[in-house]
A and B are shown apart, each in its own frame.
Chain A
Amino acid sequence: MEKIPILKMGRFLLVTVQVDMHDQLAMQLQEDLTDRIVAARARGVLIDISALEVVDSFIGRMISNIAAMARVLDAETVVVGIQPAVAITLVELGLSLEGVRTALNIDRGMSLLQERLAEEQR
């Protein structure tokens, strides 16, 4: 069965969605990611969905659920690389991902996470 890889980068986890997300895959990701956050004591999660061209309400809700779960485990989630069409669809579906931080690309997302970590260590 295919799986979405979760990479560890220092204190952050990097999830890049390279395939079409279907419901089962999203559920699997949610489970794997929460396990990994606890195991790796991650402080931040970066989800890159730049390859995602279609979203439905379920996937949208999964993304915001995953972010909420990560926050409970004290890991900040940044969703990066949302395509314009995907952004419009999410807004039209009424899912504006409140409480999830967003950035244009991985670079920006990473610096957001690092800023936050630096603030905490101060």
Chain B
Amino acid sequence: MPATGQTLRKIVTQSQKELLAEWVQAQLGATTLRSDLMKEGELREQSRELLALLQATVGSGDIAQIEGSDWASVRDFLAKVSRSRAQQGFSPSETATFVLSLKQPLFTRLRGELSKDAQALADEIWATTDLLDKLALLTVETYVKSREDLIQRQQREMMELSTPVVQLWDNILALPLIGTLDSERTQVVMESLLQKIVETGASIAIIDITGVPTVDTLVAQHLLKTVAAARLMGADCIISGIRPQIAQTIVHLGVNLSDVTTKASLADAFSIALKRTQARLPQQLGATT
């Protein structure tokens, strides 16, 4: 079918102005219009730019193969648009509608051109709809991807934010844990705790789990691993901030915390840590003199 796409080319090339006017009109009238997020001028500008790019590409490129290098500029432009829309807070369908709403004005014109030949009209419509669907899918894909990037970045930031190690006193560190403990976070927590032990030479670390919403066997195992690693570095751990429900869960699950000192509150843990370090202090002094 060598003729397929010919009419589309002709329309896009020759009646760009009318097409643009109709397209923008359709977008402005659609229910998915978000005038709160985007001004009419900006929408008009984006539509104009896409049409211009389409005109340049349709003239030379194969309209069935949008993966080719001919379509690179269109793909880049659509990616840019859907990324910015994702940031502005558009929904995926609103983003895809930007491309899909071009169908109606295009089809109307195709019908006008090919009203005599039903066969050719069907072919043209199929070719056009195929092209526009692919482009719309591309915008959705980019949209989802930019959202995923955002989520991953936030996860990383949260990970860094939520694992501070603070020095409470000479030789005493505190590690207030907020949020759920998964293996990845345990790794980060462990690393930062051990690093801090090396830096400060602390001999006691208080792990406060007041902010940990639930403790299951996995979380308990992660906690015990952290305690074991700190012990290898010569630091004793005290686990504090165990809420009544969590104490119940720990016992029901059969988690063995008997090797670790546990305290109900951070204050209790701190006072016992002070006692231990001060009890050790005179002996150390006696040993060195």
- A residues in contact (CB < 8 Å) with B: 79-80, 82, 84, 86-88, 90-92, 96-97, 102-105, 108-109, 111, 114-115, 118
Contacts and interface: CB of A to CB of B under 8 A. Distances in A.
Chain A interface SS verdict (over half): helix
Contacts of A87: 194, 229-230, 232-233
Interface string B103-123: 000000000000000000000
Given A91-B225, A91-B228, A96-B228, A82 B203 contact: no
29 contacts: A79-B232, A82-B232, A82-B233, A84-B194, A84-B229, A84-B233, A87-B194, A87-B229, A87-B232, A87-B233, A88-B187, A88-B194, A88-B229, A90-B229, A90-B232, A91-B190, A91-B228, A92-B225, A96-B228, A97-B232, A102-B231, A103-B234, A104-B197, A104-B201, A104-B234, A104-B235, A108-B201, A114-B287, A115-B287
Contacts of B197: 84, 104
A105 B283 CA distance: 17
B231 A96 contact: yes
Contacts, number: 63
B284 interface: yes
B49 interface: no
A92 B232 CA distance: 12
B211 to A, nearest CB: 23
Contacts of A108: 201, 203, 234
Interface in B210-265: 225, 228-235
Contact of A104 (B187, B190, B195, B233): B233
Contact of B234 (A90, A96, A102): A102
B198 interface: yes
User: Most B CB atoms within 10 A — which of A87, A92, A111, A118?
Assistant: A87
Nearest to B288: A111
Contacts of B18: none
B191 interface: yes
Contact of A102 (B191, B232, B283): B232
Nearest to B191: A84
A91 B229 CA distance: 6
Interface in B33-81: none
A105 to B, nearest CB: 7
B283 A96 contact: no
